[in-house]
Amino acid sequence: MTKPLYVILGSNEADRATLLDFLLRSGWEPTEKVTVWSEPESLEALEHALAEQADTVALSRGELGLPAATPSQAAFLLPPLADDPRDWLETIREWEVEHDLELAKIITVMDLLALHDHPQLRQWYDACLHFSDVLLLSHRDRVEKKWVSDLERDLQRRAYPFLVATLKKKGSVEHPQELLFPEARRLSQYFDEPEPEEAPEEYMGIEIVDETPAEVAAEIEEEEAEEANEPKPGDAATDAYLARFDYGQRKIKVPLIPQIMESINPA
């Protein structure tokens, strides 16, 4: 039986930790065990809260892959902040098979105070939002209402399909079960299951085409090119934020959190 996998993204480690603590208390009984994959710093902050309920497994920065663990009820992944979150997300399809998991939700916690003070974070957040099923806005009471309204209007203009909610103090969220319910509401189709191919329809009769053979060939070539560029489940090459050039670099460059922090506070 597969277990649900929840991924929590965000630039504020404390926000991710408090949300995880709240979700564990809201979604599972204290006697039910879950597995948490995260970097050591996050696990230390959660040690007291998770000691009884979670099997914690430390991740190493820059080393993609989940250490061996068998989730009993569910699993949570908090990718290391120093890494490109896309690198971790891209390998989830392999982990689902290796660890008997099924991706339930990708949740991004957006620190509005940090984003307000450091707009450089927006590009990093945009990459996370491309894959997100849920967006939680934290610290909204610490920034101007007009700024928050402008941000929400921009998100609406981009027509993101994800659920938007507010992360309140102590990590609480209204209707936590809605966050935990396994439902894909993301823009990216990378994690979708491929649709079965339909058998070509047989046509009995004569089709009259008022085009030259060259025009027909050009149309077919154009349709094939458009189809090749359409996002396909499991195909990183057709996902805007996962696609790479032939030499390996991703086509959309996203600054990493350490680079952003260095630009904000140069040595």
Name the residue range of residue 143's domain: 3-180
Classify residue 206: in a domain, yes or no. no
Classify residue 8: in a domain, yes or no. yes
Beta strand pairing status for 3-10 and 75-78? parallel
- The CATH number for 159's domain is 3.40.50.300
Classify residue 219: in a domain, yes or no. no
Full-model pTM:
0.86
Classify residue 240: in a domain, yes or no. no
State which H helix or E strand residue 4 sits in: strand 3-10
Domain count, the chain: 1
Per-residue pLDDT reduced to its tens digit, 32-54? 888 888 887 766 766 555 656 77
Classify residue 254: in a domain, yes or no. no
Alpha-carbon radius of gyration of the chain? 22
Classify residue 135: in a domain, yes or no. yes
Classify residue 91: in a domain, yes or no. yes
Per-residue pLDDT reduced to its tens digit, 75-99? 899 999 999 999 999 998 888 888 8
